[in-house]
Amino acid sequence: MSTATKCPVNHGTVPVLDDDPFSPETLENPLPFQERLREAGPVVFLAKYNAYAIGRYEDLSAAVANWQDLSSGSGVGLNEPWRARGLLQMDPPEHDAPREVLQSILSSRVLRSMKDTCMETAGGLIKALLAGTAPGGQVEIDGHTGIGSKLPVNFFPEASGIDEEGRENLVPYADHIFNALGPDNGLVEQGKCKAAEYTEWATAKCQRDALKPEGFGADIWAAADRGDILHEQAPLLTRSLLSAGVDTTVYGISGMLYAFASNPEQWEALRKNPNLARVAFDESLRWESPVQQIFRKTTTDVTIGGSVIPAGSRVMLCFAAANRDPRRWENPDKFDLSRDPSGHLSFGMGIHQCVGQHAARLQAASLLEQLVPRIKSIELAAPIERHHNNTLRGWESVPLRLTLA
Protein backbone atom coordinates (compact mmCIF):
# COMPACT_ATOMS: atom_id res chain seq x y z
CA MET A 1 0.00 0.00 0.00
CA SER A 2 1.32 3.40 -0.97
CA THR A 3 1.64 6.23 1.49
CA ALA A 4 1.20 9.90 0.73
CA THR A 5 3.35 12.34 2.65
CA LYS A 6 4.52 15.84 1.85
CA CYS A 7 7.49 16.48 -0.37
CA PRO A 8 10.35 18.20 1.48
CA VAL A 9 10.88 20.25 -1.68
CA ASN A 10 8.58 23.19 -2.53
CA HIS A 11 7.83 24.01 1.12
CA GLY A 12 6.03 20.70 1.58
CA THR A 13 3.18 21.54 -0.77
CA VAL A 14 3.50 18.52 -3.07
CA PRO A 15 2.26 15.10 -1.87
CA VAL A 16 4.70 12.20 -2.17
CA LEU A 17 3.72 8.73 -3.37
CA ASP A 18 6.03 5.78 -2.88
CA ASP A 19 4.22 3.78 -5.60
CA ASP A 20 6.19 2.25 -8.44
CA PRO A 21 4.07 2.84 -11.59
CA PHE A 22 6.26 0.33 -13.42
CA SER A 23 6.10 -2.58 -10.97
CA PRO A 24 4.59 -5.84 -12.27
CA GLU A 25 1.68 -5.41 -9.86
CA THR A 26 0.85 -1.92 -11.12
CA LEU A 27 1.31 -2.85 -14.78
CA GLU A 28 -1.10 -5.75 -14.26
CA ASN A 29 -3.70 -3.44 -12.69
CA PRO A 30 -2.83 0.28 -12.74
CA LEU A 31 -6.26 1.53 -11.62
CA PRO A 32 -5.55 1.66 -7.84
CA PHE A 33 -2.33 3.62 -8.42
CA GLN A 34 -4.06 5.98 -10.82
CA GLU A 35 -6.80 6.67 -8.29
CA ARG A 36 -4.22 7.43 -5.60
CA LEU A 37 -2.42 9.70 -8.04
CA ARG A 38 -5.59 11.70 -8.78
CA GLU A 39 -6.74 11.92 -5.19
CA ALA A 40 -3.36 12.87 -3.71
CA GLY A 41 -3.40 16.25 -5.45
CA PRO A 42 -3.00 18.14 -8.74
CA VAL A 43 0.72 17.25 -8.71
CA VAL A 44 2.49 14.46 -6.85
CA PHE A 45 6.13 13.54 -6.38
CA LEU A 46 7.11 9.95 -7.24
CA ALA A 47 9.84 9.31 -4.70
CA LYS A 48 11.20 6.17 -6.37
CA TYR A 49 12.03 8.01 -9.60
CA ASN A 50 12.64 11.59 -8.45
CA ALA A 51 9.91 12.70 -10.86
CA TYR A 52 6.60 14.50 -10.65
CA ALA A 53 3.27 13.21 -11.95
CA ILE A 54 -0.08 14.67 -13.00
CA GLY A 55 -3.26 12.60 -13.15
CA ARG A 56 -6.25 14.95 -12.94
CA TYR A 57 -7.98 15.75 -16.21
CA GLU A 58 -8.09 19.55 -15.98
CA ASP A 59 -4.47 19.92 -14.91
CA LEU A 60 -3.23 17.32 -17.38
CA SER A 61 -5.08 18.90 -20.31
CA ALA A 62 -3.37 22.20 -19.60
CA ALA A 63 0.01 20.55 -19.12
CA VAL A 64 -0.17 18.57 -22.38
CA ALA A 65 -0.95 21.74 -24.33
CA ASN A 66 1.87 23.70 -22.65
CA TRP A 67 4.79 22.52 -24.79
CA GLN A 68 6.75 25.70 -24.04
CA ASP A 69 7.14 24.97 -20.31
CA LEU A 70 6.76 21.17 -20.45
CA SER A 71 9.07 20.19 -23.28
CA SER A 72 9.25 17.01 -25.34
CA GLY A 73 12.53 18.09 -26.88
CA SER A 74 14.70 16.16 -24.44
CA GLY A 75 12.62 13.02 -24.77
CA VAL A 76 9.25 11.72 -23.62
CA GLY A 77 10.66 9.01 -21.37
CA LEU A 78 11.82 8.96 -17.79
CA ASN A 79 15.43 9.24 -18.95
CA GLU A 80 17.15 11.22 -21.68
CA PRO A 81 16.60 9.88 -25.23
CA TRP A 82 18.50 6.70 -26.07
CA ARG A 83 17.78 6.75 -29.80
CA ALA A 84 17.32 9.07 -32.77
CA ARG A 85 14.72 11.74 -32.06
CA GLY A 86 11.34 11.40 -33.74
CA LEU A 87 8.46 13.83 -34.17
CA LEU A 88 7.20 13.31 -30.63
CA GLN A 89 10.61 14.31 -29.28
CA MET A 90 10.68 17.64 -31.09
CA ASP A 91 9.27 21.02 -30.14
CA PRO A 92 8.76 24.05 -32.39
CA PRO A 93 10.32 25.32 -34.52
CA GLU A 94 12.00 22.06 -35.64
CA HIS A 95 8.76 20.18 -34.99
CA ASP A 96 6.66 22.29 -37.37
CA ALA A 97 7.73 21.17 -40.86
CA PRO A 98 7.81 17.40 -40.16
CA ARG A 99 4.45 17.66 -38.40
CA GLU A 100 2.91 19.52 -41.32
CA VAL A 101 4.16 16.89 -43.76
CA LEU A 102 2.80 13.95 -41.75
CA GLN A 103 -0.47 15.73 -41.03
CA SER A 104 -1.03 16.22 -44.76
CA ILE A 105 -0.09 12.64 -45.63
CA LEU A 106 -2.28 11.18 -42.86
CA SER A 107 -5.20 13.61 -43.19
CA SER A 108 -8.79 12.49 -42.76
CA ARG A 109 -9.36 13.12 -46.48
CA VAL A 110 -6.52 10.81 -47.46
CA LEU A 111 -7.64 8.12 -45.04
CA ARG A 112 -11.23 8.27 -46.29
CA SER A 113 -9.93 7.42 -49.74
CA MET A 114 -8.49 4.21 -48.26
CA LYS A 115 -11.77 3.05 -46.71
CA ASP A 116 -12.47 0.39 -49.35
CA THR A 117 -9.00 -1.13 -48.91
CA CYS A 118 -9.32 -1.18 -45.14
CA MET A 119 -12.81 -2.67 -45.32
CA GLU A 120 -11.50 -5.41 -47.60
CA THR A 121 -8.66 -6.20 -45.20
CA ALA A 122 -10.95 -6.26 -42.17
CA GLY A 123 -13.61 -8.24 -44.03
CA GLY A 124 -11.16 -10.90 -45.17
CA LEU A 125 -9.88 -11.27 -41.63
CA ILE A 126 -13.36 -11.71 -40.14
CA LYS A 127 -14.59 -14.06 -42.86
CA ALA A 128 -11.62 -16.35 -42.28
CA LEU A 129 -12.25 -16.42 -38.51
CA LEU A 130 -15.97 -17.20 -38.94
CA ALA A 131 -15.63 -19.64 -41.84
CA GLY A 132 -17.76 -22.77 -41.41
CA THR A 133 -19.90 -21.35 -38.57
CA ALA A 134 -23.63 -21.27 -39.30
CA PRO A 135 -25.95 -18.39 -38.32
CA GLY A 136 -26.80 -18.71 -34.64
CA GLY A 137 -23.68 -20.78 -34.04
CA GLN A 138 -20.78 -19.83 -31.83
CA VAL A 139 -17.08 -19.55 -32.48
CA GLU A 140 -14.28 -18.93 -29.99
CA ILE A 141 -11.38 -16.74 -31.10
CA ASP A 142 -8.68 -14.65 -29.49
CA GLY A 143 -9.59 -11.03 -30.06
CA HIS A 144 -6.00 -9.92 -29.59
CA THR A 145 -3.97 -12.48 -31.52
CA GLY A 146 -6.71 -13.12 -34.10
CA ILE A 147 -7.89 -9.55 -34.78
CA GLY A 148 -6.17 -6.80 -32.79
CA SER A 149 -2.64 -7.82 -33.68
CA LYS A 150 -3.53 -8.74 -37.26
CA LEU A 151 -5.43 -5.80 -38.77
CA PRO A 152 -2.93 -2.97 -38.01
CA VAL A 153 0.08 -5.17 -38.86
CA ASN A 154 -1.44 -5.82 -42.28
CA PHE A 155 -3.04 -2.46 -43.03
CA PHE A 156 -0.56 0.12 -41.77
CA PRO A 157 2.65 -1.25 -43.31
CA GLU A 158 0.82 -1.83 -46.58
CA ALA A 159 -0.42 1.76 -46.57
CA SER A 160 3.11 2.93 -45.77
CA GLY A 161 4.63 0.95 -48.64
CA ILE A 162 6.54 -1.49 -46.41
CA ASP A 163 6.89 -4.90 -48.04
CA GLU A 164 5.63 -8.08 -46.36
CA GLU A 165 8.97 -9.57 -45.36
CA GLY A 166 9.64 -9.30 -41.65
CA ARG A 167 6.36 -7.70 -40.60
CA GLU A 168 6.34 -9.97 -37.58
CA ASN A 169 9.09 -7.67 -36.24
CA LEU A 170 6.77 -4.67 -36.02
CA VAL A 171 5.10 -5.36 -32.69
CA PRO A 172 8.25 -6.41 -30.74
CA TYR A 173 10.19 -3.52 -32.32
CA ALA A 174 7.71 -0.94 -31.06
CA ASP A 175 7.29 -2.83 -27.78
CA HIS A 176 10.93 -2.21 -26.90
CA ILE A 177 10.74 1.44 -27.89
CA PHE A 178 7.77 2.04 -25.60
CA ASN A 179 9.35 0.01 -22.79
CA ALA A 180 12.44 2.19 -22.98
CA LEU A 181 10.35 5.27 -22.13
CA GLY A 182 10.16 3.94 -18.58
CA PRO A 183 12.92 2.98 -16.14
CA ASP A 184 15.70 0.63 -17.15
CA ASN A 185 13.94 -2.37 -15.60
CA GLY A 186 13.56 -6.03 -16.49
CA LEU A 187 11.17 -5.29 -19.36
CA VAL A 188 13.79 -3.10 -21.03
CA GLU A 189 16.51 -5.66 -20.37
CA GLN A 190 14.45 -8.40 -22.05
CA GLY A 191 14.12 -6.33 -25.22
CA LYS A 192 17.77 -5.30 -25.49
CA CYS A 193 18.93 -8.63 -26.92
CA LYS A 194 17.11 -8.04 -30.21
CA ALA A 195 16.71 -4.25 -30.14
CA ALA A 196 19.62 -3.60 -32.52
CA GLU A 197 18.36 -6.24 -34.95
CA TYR A 198 14.84 -4.77 -34.99
CA THR A 199 16.12 -1.22 -35.38
CA GLU A 200 18.37 -2.24 -38.25
CA TRP A 201 15.44 -4.00 -39.93
CA ALA A 202 13.08 -1.01 -39.50
CA THR A 203 15.69 1.47 -40.71
CA ALA A 204 16.39 -0.59 -43.83
CA LYS A 205 12.67 -0.94 -44.61
CA CYS A 206 12.20 2.84 -44.51
CA GLN A 207 14.91 3.73 -47.03
CA ARG A 208 13.71 5.08 -50.36
CA ASP A 209 14.84 2.11 -52.43
CA ALA A 210 13.14 -0.38 -50.08
CA LEU A 211 9.73 1.28 -50.18
CA LYS A 212 6.98 0.62 -52.67
CA PRO A 213 6.48 3.45 -55.20
CA GLU A 214 3.13 4.40 -53.64
CA GLY A 215 2.36 4.81 -49.97
CA PHE A 216 2.95 7.04 -46.96
CA GLY A 217 6.68 6.32 -47.06
CA ALA A 218 7.03 7.38 -50.70
CA ASP A 219 5.02 10.52 -49.90
CA ILE A 220 7.42 11.39 -47.08
CA TRP A 221 10.44 11.02 -49.39
CA ALA A 222 8.63 13.15 -52.01
CA ALA A 223 8.22 15.87 -49.37
CA ALA A 224 11.99 15.73 -48.78
CA ASP A 225 12.58 16.12 -52.52
CA ARG A 226 10.38 19.22 -52.50
CA GLY A 227 12.42 20.65 -49.61
CA ASP A 228 9.56 20.48 -47.12
CA ILE A 229 11.75 18.43 -44.76
CA LEU A 230 15.40 17.39 -44.73
CA HIS A 231 16.31 14.19 -46.55
CA GLU A 232 17.83 12.75 -43.39
CA GLN A 233 14.45 13.16 -41.68
CA ALA A 234 12.60 11.04 -44.25
CA PRO A 235 13.55 7.55 -43.00
CA LEU A 236 13.09 8.62 -39.38
CA LEU A 237 9.57 9.95 -40.05
CA THR A 238 8.68 6.81 -42.00
CA ARG A 239 9.98 4.68 -39.17
CA SER A 240 7.96 6.67 -36.65
CA LEU A 241 4.79 5.57 -38.44
CA LEU A 242 5.70 2.00 -37.56
CA SER A 243 6.97 2.54 -34.03
CA ALA A 244 4.16 4.84 -32.91
CA GLY A 245 1.26 3.67 -35.05
CA VAL A 246 1.20 -0.12 -34.94
CA ASP A 247 1.34 -1.25 -31.28
CA THR A 248 -0.95 1.56 -30.10
CA THR A 249 -3.59 0.60 -32.68
CA VAL A 250 -3.13 -3.11 -31.96
CA TYR A 251 -3.85 -2.52 -28.28
CA GLY A 252 -6.60 0.02 -29.03
CA ILE A 253 -8.54 -2.48 -31.14
CA SER A 254 -7.94 -5.32 -28.67
CA GLY A 255 -9.11 -3.05 -25.85
CA MET A 256 -12.26 -2.15 -27.78
CA LEU A 257 -13.13 -5.83 -28.24
CA TYR A 258 -12.48 -6.45 -24.53
CA ALA A 259 -14.75 -3.52 -23.65
CA PHE A 260 -17.64 -4.97 -25.64
CA ALA A 261 -17.09 -8.49 -24.30
CA SER A 262 -17.10 -7.13 -20.74
CA ASN A 263 -20.20 -5.02 -21.39
CA PRO A 264 -22.47 -7.05 -23.70
CA GLU A 265 -25.33 -4.56 -23.39
CA GLN A 266 -23.13 -1.99 -25.14
CA TRP A 267 -22.70 -4.34 -28.11
CA GLU A 268 -26.49 -4.55 -28.30
CA ALA A 269 -26.63 -0.75 -28.27
CA LEU A 270 -24.15 -0.58 -31.16
CA ARG A 271 -26.08 -3.15 -33.19
CA LYS A 272 -29.25 -1.09 -32.73
CA ASN A 273 -27.41 2.06 -33.78
CA PRO A 274 -24.30 1.33 -35.92
CA ASN A 275 -23.71 5.08 -36.17
CA LEU A 276 -22.24 4.83 -32.67
CA ALA A 277 -19.11 3.15 -34.08
CA ARG A 278 -16.90 6.22 -33.68
CA VAL A 279 -18.24 6.84 -30.18
CA ALA A 280 -17.49 3.20 -29.38
CA PHE A 281 -13.83 3.44 -30.34
CA ASP A 282 -13.31 6.75 -28.54
CA GLU A 283 -15.07 5.50 -25.43
CA SER A 284 -12.93 2.36 -25.42
CA LEU A 285 -9.79 4.52 -25.73
CA ARG A 286 -10.95 6.58 -22.76
CA TRP A 287 -11.87 3.50 -20.73
CA GLU A 288 -8.80 1.39 -21.59
CA SER A 289 -6.11 3.88 -22.66
CA PRO A 290 -3.48 2.20 -24.88
CA VAL A 291 -0.84 4.81 -23.97
CA GLN A 292 -0.87 5.02 -20.19
CA GLN A 293 1.66 7.82 -19.70
CA ILE A 294 4.63 9.65 -21.14
CA PHE A 295 7.10 12.11 -19.65
CA ARG A 296 8.12 15.66 -20.37
CA LYS A 297 10.75 17.95 -18.88
CA THR A 298 10.12 21.38 -17.40
CA THR A 299 12.04 24.22 -19.04
CA THR A 300 11.19 26.63 -16.22
CA ASP A 301 9.44 26.55 -12.86
CA VAL A 302 5.86 25.47 -13.57
CA THR A 303 2.95 26.15 -11.21
CA ILE A 304 0.10 23.62 -11.24
CA GLY A 305 -2.68 23.69 -8.69
CA GLY A 306 -0.70 26.05 -6.50
CA SER A 307 2.38 23.83 -6.44
CA VAL A 308 5.65 24.58 -8.20
CA ILE A 309 7.47 21.95 -10.26
CA PRO A 310 11.10 23.10 -10.49
CA ALA A 311 12.81 23.69 -13.83
CA GLY A 312 14.63 20.65 -15.17
CA SER A 313 12.21 18.14 -13.60
CA ARG A 314 10.81 15.05 -15.29
CA VAL A 315 7.00 15.04 -15.21
CA MET A 316 4.84 11.99 -15.88
CA LEU A 317 1.65 12.83 -17.76
CA CYS A 318 -0.73 10.02 -16.86
CA PHE A 319 -3.36 10.00 -19.63
CA ALA A 320 -5.05 6.88 -18.30
CA ALA A 321 -5.66 8.46 -14.88
CA ALA A 322 -7.13 11.60 -16.46
CA ASN A 323 -9.35 9.55 -18.74
CA ARG A 324 -11.07 8.10 -15.65
CA ASP A 325 -11.11 11.26 -13.57
CA PRO A 326 -14.55 11.53 -11.88
CA ARG A 327 -14.11 15.32 -11.89
CA ARG A 328 -14.48 15.16 -15.69
CA TRP A 329 -16.47 11.99 -16.38
CA GLU A 330 -19.64 10.76 -14.73
CA ASN A 331 -19.29 7.13 -13.62
CA PRO A 332 -15.86 6.99 -15.30
CA ASP A 333 -15.21 3.29 -14.70
CA LYS A 334 -18.16 2.32 -16.91
CA PHE A 335 -17.78 1.71 -20.64
CA ASP A 336 -20.86 3.54 -21.88
CA LEU A 337 -21.83 4.42 -25.47
CA SER A 338 -24.43 6.90 -24.23
CA ARG A 339 -21.70 9.28 -23.08
CA ASP A 340 -19.76 11.78 -25.20
CA PRO A 341 -16.14 10.64 -24.87
CA SER A 342 -14.72 13.47 -26.97
CA GLY A 343 -11.99 15.24 -25.05
CA HIS A 344 -10.33 12.03 -23.89
CA LEU A 345 -6.56 12.29 -23.85
CA SER A 346 -5.61 8.97 -25.44
CA PHE A 347 -4.50 10.80 -28.59
CA GLY A 348 -2.89 13.59 -26.59
CA MET A 349 -3.74 17.24 -27.13
CA GLY A 350 -2.23 20.32 -28.74
CA ILE A 351 0.72 20.26 -31.14
CA HIS A 352 1.71 16.73 -30.13
CA GLN A 353 -1.74 15.23 -30.64
CA CYS A 354 -1.43 11.86 -32.40
CA VAL A 355 -0.89 12.51 -36.10
CA GLY A 356 -1.98 8.96 -36.96
CA GLN A 357 -5.34 9.03 -35.20
CA HIS A 358 -7.33 9.03 -38.46
CA ALA A 359 -5.62 5.78 -39.48
CA ALA A 360 -6.51 4.20 -36.13
CA ARG A 361 -10.12 5.39 -36.40
CA LEU A 362 -10.41 4.04 -39.94
CA GLN A 363 -9.27 0.58 -38.88
CA ALA A 364 -11.57 0.46 -35.86
CA ALA A 365 -14.56 1.70 -37.86
CA SER A 366 -13.94 -0.78 -40.67
CA LEU A 367 -13.68 -3.64 -38.19
CA LEU A 368 -16.94 -2.71 -36.46
CA GLU A 369 -18.69 -2.29 -39.81
CA GLN A 370 -17.69 -5.85 -40.68
CA LEU A 371 -18.60 -7.30 -37.28
CA VAL A 372 -21.95 -5.65 -36.49
CA PRO A 373 -24.09 -7.37 -39.16
CA ARG A 374 -22.42 -10.74 -38.55
CA ILE A 375 -22.16 -10.97 -34.74
CA LYS A 376 -25.17 -11.06 -32.43
CA SER A 377 -23.22 -11.09 -29.20
CA ILE A 378 -19.66 -10.95 -27.84
CA GLU A 379 -18.63 -12.36 -24.48
CA LEU A 380 -15.43 -13.37 -22.73
CA ALA A 381 -14.68 -17.06 -23.19
CA ALA A 382 -11.89 -17.20 -20.57
CA PRO A 383 -9.83 -14.80 -18.42
CA ILE A 384 -7.78 -12.25 -20.32
CA GLU A 385 -3.98 -12.12 -20.16
CA ARG A 386 -2.04 -8.88 -20.02
CA HIS A 387 1.23 -8.01 -21.72
CA HIS A 388 3.33 -5.73 -19.52
CA ASN A 389 4.91 -2.65 -21.05
CA ASN A 390 6.27 0.44 -19.29
CA THR A 391 4.17 2.78 -21.42
CA LEU A 392 1.37 0.79 -23.07
CA ARG A 393 -1.63 -1.07 -21.67
CA GLY A 394 -0.90 -4.29 -23.49
CA TRP A 395 -2.51 -7.64 -24.13
CA GLU A 396 -1.40 -11.23 -24.55
CA SER A 397 -4.84 -12.74 -24.99
CA VAL A 398 -8.50 -11.64 -25.16
CA PRO A 399 -10.46 -14.91 -25.47
CA LEU A 400 -13.87 -14.21 -27.05
CA ARG A 401 -16.99 -16.23 -27.74
CA LEU A 402 -18.89 -14.84 -30.71
CA THR A 403 -22.50 -15.77 -31.45
CA LEU A 404 -23.31 -15.26 -35.12
CA ALA A 405 -26.40 -13.33 -36.16
CATH number at residue 386: 1.10.630.10
**C-alpha to C-alpha distances, 301 to 61, 307, 309, 315, 377, nearest whole angstrom:** 18, 10, 6, 12, 52
Task: Give the strand pairing for 44-46 and 375-380.
Answer: unpaired
> Is 266 within 8 Å of 258 (Cβ atoms)?
no
Each residue's pLDDT tens digit, 128-168: 999 999 999 999 999 999 999 999 988 888 899 998 888 88
- pLDDT score, position 1: 40
Residue 51 predicted with pLDDT over 70? yes
| Mean pLDDT computed over every residue of the chain | 93
Assess whether pLDDT exceeds 70 at residue 3: no
Secondary structure of residue 360 in the 3-state scheme:
helix
Mean pLDDT of 263-289: 97
Task: Give the pLDDT confidence of 354-378 residue by residue, as tens digits.
Answer: 999 999 999 999 999 999 999 999 9
What are the tens digits of pLDDT across the range 247-271? 999 999 999 999 999 999 999 999 9
The Cα 151–Cα 242 span in angstroms is 14
Q: Which of 346, 351, 223, 203 is nearest to 284 (CA)?
A: 346
How much is the pLDDT for 156? 83
| pLDDT (0 to 100) of residue 184 | 94
Q: How many domains does the chain have?
A: 1
pLDDT of residue 80: 80
Is the CB of residue 393 less than 8 Å from the CB of residue 289? Answer: yes
Q: Mean per-residue pLDDT for 86-98? A: 88
Please state the pTM of the whole predicted model: 0.94
pLDDT value for 84: 58
Give me the pLDDT at residue 9, please: 57
- Domain of 162 in residue numbering reads as 4-404
pLDDT at 341 over 80: yes
Amino acid of residue 195: A
Distance CA 273, CA 55 (A): 33
Task: Give 243-292 as a DSSP string.
Answer: HHHHHHHHHHHHHHHHHHHH-HHHHHHHHH-GGGHHHHHHHHHHHT-SB-
Q: Specify the range with the lowest mean pLDDT, choosing from 85-89, 113-117, 124-128, 258-262.
A: 85-89
